Chains A and B, each alone.
Chain A
Amino acid sequence: MSRLTDSLAELLGRDPRKPAPEEIPVEVKTLHREKRADKRRIEKIRVELAHKAARAAPEKIRRTRWLVLAAVNLLFVFSYWLDIQLLEGALTASRFAGFHMADLHSALQVMLAFKHVVINLLIGTVTVLVLWWLLGGRTFCAWVCPYHLLAEWAELLHEWLARKKLVKDHPLDRRLRTVAWLVFALLALLTGYTIYETISPTGILSRALIYGPGVALIWVGILLAFEVFYSRRAWCRYLCPIGLTYGLVGATSPFKVRYHLPTCFHEGECRKVCLVPHVLDTVILGRARGLEVDIGADCTRCGRCVDACPTGSLTFHYPGQRQDAT
């Protein structure tokens, strides 16, 4: 199976597959073998982690990302409040300097329910499709979605409570998101109502910011509480169909997180912070299928793994970017 088919299958909920021996090129196999034979590897990891703990570098990308996320959402808010008409509308559909934009999942729901596509919606949908294909698909989740930010804060609380042994994470089945996507698509088609929009925390939060809060925020609160006390990042990981839509768009995107095998110590720091750790299966010693591996479609390009990796083995990658083996 090709890397893309695997990436899509994992996006839809399949567990990552261990590569068969014949899928691993000889030089990669040799490298795996050398790493396994390296008796001092564990010692190196200890030194590495101790060094990292002593420095405790701030998560630079995360800070930038939070700023970008806040800036995009506040641009909506101030465009309306100050009437500067730069970015009108909400995250579900908007006009940037007059150009139509439509959230792909909201547009899909409307198309299925209404069964009629006006030209403005088509223009907005195609614009956003091209934009997020270029930017990496689920990049939308980590860099724009306001619920993602609240969920990250809820996650910090969850982890703190988990360290105090007050809560425990209950992982769910990742195939649930695919089922939810299909069910909400079918419901829109059959009932003629955009039912997912009723409970979409992304839409609710975007509108609450721009047009003022309402009782719908209670629903968002319930979702966050569920994540704090029961299942870490449950909405984004296991349910949100918007994430799946953007994941499909980003599957072939040129913008990726790239994994560099030779420098990796396989300590697993990246997988601890990752929203979707299954995409980082390749960093487990013996799993990489190349000296360089692009991370799969479910990756939100949030950059937490890039921040977390002590050896710089994970980097953002654009095509044409100069390759240095740092």
Chain B
Amino acid sequence: MNAKAKTTRRRPGQKARRRFLRSVLYGAGVLGISLLGYLPVVGQWITRLRPPGALLEEKFLAACIKCGQCVQVCPVEAIHLADLDEGFGIGVPYIDARSQACDFSCDGLQCVLACPTGALTHDVNYPHQVDMGIARVVNEGACLAVQGKGFRGQARGPDFTGKLRYEEVDRWNPILVRDHPYDLELCDLCVRQCPIEIRIAQCEAGKPPSGDEYQCPPRPAIQLEPLGQGGAMRPVILDGCVGCGVCEMICPVEPAVIVMDSVESRAKSTGLRT
């Protein structure tokens, strides 16, 4: 009875005020939590390799509608969507090159075509125009070629589930890397599997995949340079590198000798190489 008496004594204005206050707190709470999403972005806690054609990071986060259509069309399933720990970057696509790089085995840049908002710029038509980042040699001493060593067997071991398209095996369908063992006098996997270098070689041999004259990359992406005596070589990243990550993925050394650096190179990028 006492409680009831209290309720009656409470003025209607007080009830409305409390409701208003609750609403302000709820709204402010939701807003505050949403703004926390800025921290991972501004702090660059996580820097990601983005799919081909991705605009400058800030523009990319603005333009991406977080639908994952790029994820769905990728034939090698290289693209994943980020989680809430990436703040405003939630639902935004990224590529973890070491586990599965983009090898352009779709030829036509399917993710770019699938993107409904232009976050992956539709101005990109060919792999060599892409500007995802650039490869960097970070651990040269561990490189098999630098040590003058060859490589035999599965590039990433029997448990690796990454795929590549080997045109000599199947023109259209990527296969598991573990199903394609190598036997090399001197390890040159990073150069051998580079999609840009493969296309250059096809063009030089007069056998590009189609009659399109613009598909041939204008600049090389990676090469092996002689290193002193004894046939040792070292990988050198060249200007034509688009940052696709295949060299990082295929490198048999653990951890990889080459890694993708997308932060610095994308600082001024529009997703398109000029």
Q: Decide: A172 near B68, CB < 8 A? Known: A120-B116, A121-B118, A193-B61.
A: no
Residues in B with CB closer than 8 Å to A199 are 30, 33-34, 37
Chain A 212-242 residues near chain B, CB threshold 8 A = 214-216, 218-219, 231, 234, 238-239
Q: Is B66 a contact partner of A203 (Cβ separation < 8 A)?
A: yes
A121 to B80, CA, bound (A): 22
Of all chain A residues, the one with the shortest Cβ separation from B113 is A120
A172 to B18, CA, bound (A): 9
**Contact partner, A198, options B20, B22, B27, B90, Cβ 8 Å:** B90
Q: Decide: A114 near B90, CB < 8 A? Known: A199-B37, A238-B26.
A: no
Q: Is A176 a contact partner of B65 (Cβ separation < 8 A)?
A: no
Of all chain A residues, the one with the shortest Cβ separation from B35 is A195
Q: Is A211 a contact partner of B71 (Cβ separation < 8 A)?
A: yes
A324 to B110, CA, bound (A): 54
Q: Is B116 a contact partner of A211 (Cβ separation < 8 A)?
A: no
Q: Decide: A93 near B19, CB < 8 A? Known: A121-B118, A215-B84, A238-B26.
A: no
Residues in B with CB closer than 8 Å to A203 are 66, 91
Q: Is B117 a contact partner of A121 (Cβ separation < 8 A)?
A: yes
Residues in A with CB closer than 8 Å to B167 are none
The reply to whether the CB of A196 lies closer than 8 angstroms to some CB of chain B is yes
Q: Is A93 a contact partner of B65 (Cβ separation < 8 A)?
A: yes
The reply to whether the CB of B7 lies closer than 8 angstroms to some CB of chain A is no
The reply to whether the CB of B179 lies closer than 8 angstroms to some CB of chain A is no
Residues in A with CB closer than 8 Å to B119 are 114
The reply to whether the CB of B87 lies closer than 8 angstroms to some CB of chain A is yes
Q: Is A114 a contact partner of B62 (Cβ separation < 8 A)?
A: yes
Chain A 254-270 residues near chain B, CB threshold 8 A = none
Q: Is A172 a contact partner of B26 (Cβ separation < 8 A)?
A: yes
Residues in B with CB closer than 8 Å to A115 are 62
**Contact partner, B66, options A114, A192, A207, Cβ 8 Å:** A207
Q: Is B72 a contact partner of A80 (Cβ separation < 8 A)?
A: yes
1/0 per residue, CB under 8 A from A, across B126-139: the answer is: 00000000000000
The reply to whether the CB of B69 lies closer than 8 angstroms to some CB of chain A is yes
Residues in A with CB closer than 8 Å to B58 are 192
Chain B 58-86 residues near chain A, CB threshold 8 A = 58-59, 61-69, 71-73, 80-81, 83-85
Residues in A with CB closer than 8 Å to B64 are 110, 194
Q: Is A100 a contact partner of B91 (Cβ separation < 8 A)?
A: no
The reply to whether the CB of A116 lies closer than 8 angstroms to some CB of chain B is yes
The reply to whether the CB of A92 lies closer than 8 angstroms to some CB of chain B is yes
Residues in B with CB closer than 8 Å to A171 are 19
Residues in B with CB closer than 8 Å to A80 are 72
The reply to whether the CB of A62 lies closer than 8 angstroms to some CB of chain B is no
Q: Is A113 a contact partner of B69 (Cβ separation < 8 A)?
A: no
The reply to whether the CB of A251 lies closer than 8 angstroms to some CB of chain B is no
**Contact partner, A176, options B27, B33, B63, B72, Cβ 8 Å:** B27
The reply to whether the CB of B88 lies closer than 8 angstroms to some CB of chain A is yes
**Contact partner, B84, options A180, A196, A211, A214, Cβ 8 Å:** A214
The reply to whether the CB of A173 lies closer than 8 angstroms to some CB of chain B is yes
The reply to whether the CB of B23 lies closer than 8 angstroms to some CB of chain A is yes
Q: Is B90 a contact partner of A216 (Cβ separation < 8 A)?
A: yes
Chain A 89-143 residues near chain B, CB threshold 8 A = 89-90, 92-95, 100, 102-103, 106-107, 110, 113-116, 118, 120-121, 124
A99 to B57, CA, bound (A): 28
Q: Is B23 a contact partner of A176 (Cβ separation < 8 A)?
A: yes
Q: Decide: A102 near B116, CB < 8 A? Known: A89-B68, A207-B81.
A: yes
A224 to B125, CA, bound (A): 45
Of all chain A residues, the one with the shortest Cβ separation from B58 is A192
Q: Is B19 a contact partner of A198 (Cβ separation < 8 A)?
A: no
Q: 24 A-B contacts, Cβ less than 8 Å apart?
A: A88-B72, A92-B91, A93-B117, A94-B69, A107-B65, A113-B62, A116-B63, A121-B117, A121-B118, A124-B116, A172-B19, A180-B27, A193-B62, A194-B61, A197-B65, A198-B84, A199-B30, A204-B84, A204-B91, A207-B68, A211-B81, A215-B83, A218-B84, A231-B26
Q: A interface vs B, CB < 8 Å? A: 80, 85, 88-90, 92-95, 100, 102-103, 106-107, 110, 113-116, 118, 120-121, 124, 170-173, 175-176, 179-180, 183-184, 191-199, 203-204, 207, 210-211, 214-216, 218-219, 231, 234, 238-239
Q: A170-B22, A194-B65, A238-B23 are in contact. List 19 more A-B contacts (CB 8 A).
A: A89-B116, A100-B116, A110-B63, A114-B62, A114-B117, A114-B118, A172-B26, A175-B23, A195-B35, A198-B87, A198-B88, A203-B91, A204-B90, A207-B66, A211-B68, A215-B83, A216-B84, A219-B33, A239-B26
The 7 closest A-B CB pairs, nearest first, are A216-B84, A93-B67, A214-B83, A118-B118, A173-B23, A113-B62, A198-B37
